[in-house]
Structure 1
Amino acid sequence: MTVELLGGADDPRRAHDPRRLAWAYLSKVVQGPCPALSRLVDDVGPEEAARAVRERYLAELLGERTVARAHVDTAAHDLDLVAGMGGRLVTPEDDDWPQWRLLGFDTLSASREDGAPFALWVLGSRSLVELTERAISIVGTRAASGYGEHVTAEVAGDLAVDGWTIVSGAAFGIDGAAHRAAMGVGGLTVAVLACGVDRAYPAGHARLLRQIAQNGAVISEYPPGTTPAKYRFLARNRLVASLSDGVVVVEAGWRSGARNTASWARKLGRPVMAVPGPVTSVSSTGCNRMIREGEARLVANAGDVLEEAGPIGLREGVDGGVVRDLDAVRDLDALSGDALLVYEALPALGTRGVRELSEASGVAVEKVRAVLPMLEMEGFVDSGDTGWSRQR
């Protein structure tokens, strides 16, 4: 499923949609969660709420949150800018809004300012509902060790191969390793930013963020032009936690953003998992202590993660560290040699042609052509107009 993107500056669907402009204006004014404004929009609609903000016709609390930027209206520019980057604004009125993922915020105190996002700016054409239907968040230190990056790549890659979206924060270290591992096996990944989606942060991940947006999504609750700030990273962490079935922490100090994400996961009712590390490693003190004090469950591979966060009854067996649904996935032990190489070369989602499979698997083209019909008869693969895919 993909979401239809708006066209260029002359597209009347955007240029003449006052409701969409109102959402963009209000997002700019509050720049983050604002339960009071969200309730006002629910009561009177975004256009009337925008008029109330502009005219300062507000309750005292809401006025304090909006008065500083009430005169700033860059809605049309912001929508044009993001559309030009291949993105869009997603609001609670849209079918694309991940409503059920955000329900956990409703259980928190109504007075909190760190509630559900007001709106989401998104780069990428895939539906947020689709992307977050089966998702695991993987977070950790920026100063990752070789051990941490290796474990992250193994866990994220195995989960992505099994069709799970990997959610993280696009930072250096563990975050980046998780995103790359998911894309490396043809899987999906979502990056949540603490700044506008028009800003590559960190700058060294500009290319990575572009790659993520091509087949996954880069999202932020902050409008274009918003710069990173410490409090925005802390707010970002709650979205990383909320958009998945569970949070895995790989290497984290005792006081760290990753532990903050884990804390949010517990508040929102998500399972928290941690990978243990060497007792001599400063990078693993947070993980080891969370495990010791019962704040997180110990996990060592993707199978452990899915035992904690996967659907009840899904996990019936373990194959090479990855727990598999024995009723839904054929037993790959039946495959060997060229057949296994060709099957493993298929992406987790999408299709590949014969020549692409040959290059990815290292199996000659003629042997790939001979193997594929056998795999199809055995129920491992499907064929279509665009190539071959794994059978779901």
Structure 2
Amino acid sequence: MREPIVLQTGDVTAFGYAVPTTVVLVAVALVVGLALAVSFYLTIGLSVYRSVQDTRRDRVRPALREELLGRLFSPDPDWEDWVADCSRVERRVIESLLDEHLRELDGGDADRLRELGDALGIPDRSRRRLDDGGEYQRLHALTWLTLLRRPEPYFESSFEPRTPRERAAAVTLLQATDRLPDAETRISMLLDGADEQFTVFGQDTLYRVARTEPAPLLRAAGSDYRDWPEPLLAQVLAVCAHLETSVRDGSLEWVTAALETENDAIRAAAADALGSFGWRPSLRDQVFLERATGDPTPRVRAAVYEMLAAWGDREALTVLLFALVEEADPRALTIGTTALVGRRDRVDHDVAAVLGPAWEWSFEHSEYDRLAGKTATETVGG
């Protein structure tokens, strides 16, 4: 009979055999060392390859830029023949130059330059990326189609925007090419089913869509705001804060409801938004104003003070003045007083006597800013 294996201290069993730990550690070290060596040489090789490619692109870039501009302003640019004679590296450089100049030019020059994009096959490539690429490739494709003003590949593809970034990029493309019938459709594309916040680009897109016709945004927010995550709600409120009195209809109950939430950032954003809607009689309820100025968080109270100053009528400024008299937080008091300084010509009371040092500090800084701005203007004008 086969004798049983007696394990020594530090042995490891593998496939029925006892292997000393030292041997195992040496084998692992060899494998790890080999992996690190392969990784090192691959990294060096990739770096050298990219350096060579960058050098080649930098070498041909000035000549290609000169050729591009020369063809752009010639009677017949003949993009097709030029591109056909270029190498792969040269085409990549031409694409980067095209991207750069399309962001700077407009009118007929930009239209002629967009034909170069067609010659490079960018619209067809973008359609394939919309169908088969990852999110980064899809966003890259939408950006190119917007620059080229070519919405057709978007409609020809099976692509449907899924993420906030894709929604914003698709709306930008369709808005730039006049393919969206109305603001209602644009807002719907951006917000229907939205379950996460926008990027900065997405928030800017929402503002650009809403500023010309705000009512669809207010209607969408009024019906869906309860389903939005708080960061998205804060972004929509921030957009509303910049719509000002161009908003003539639409319910504001959702904004006042946001002023009652537990999240102080949402409450502050709601106060900022309400600063744009001061002409609405429904916002002048005394109980509502007392509750707003009595918010337990200084950050929110400061936003409410700026809201009242933005309204600017005597009733709102009187409420603001008496709220500042009771304000205990130095930062909120400074923000509120600074806002009131900008409306001092509409206040009947002796504000300096009521607010004392806070008023003096805010007034002096306001005067300094005014004089500094005046000096800068005179310097530029002179």
TM-score, normalization by structure 2: 0.26
For the pair shown, the structure with the greater C-alpha radius of gyration is: 2
**More relative contact order, 1 or 2 (CA 8 Å, 6+ apart):** 1
Q: Which has the higher strand share?
A: 1
Q: Which has the higher helix share?
A: 2
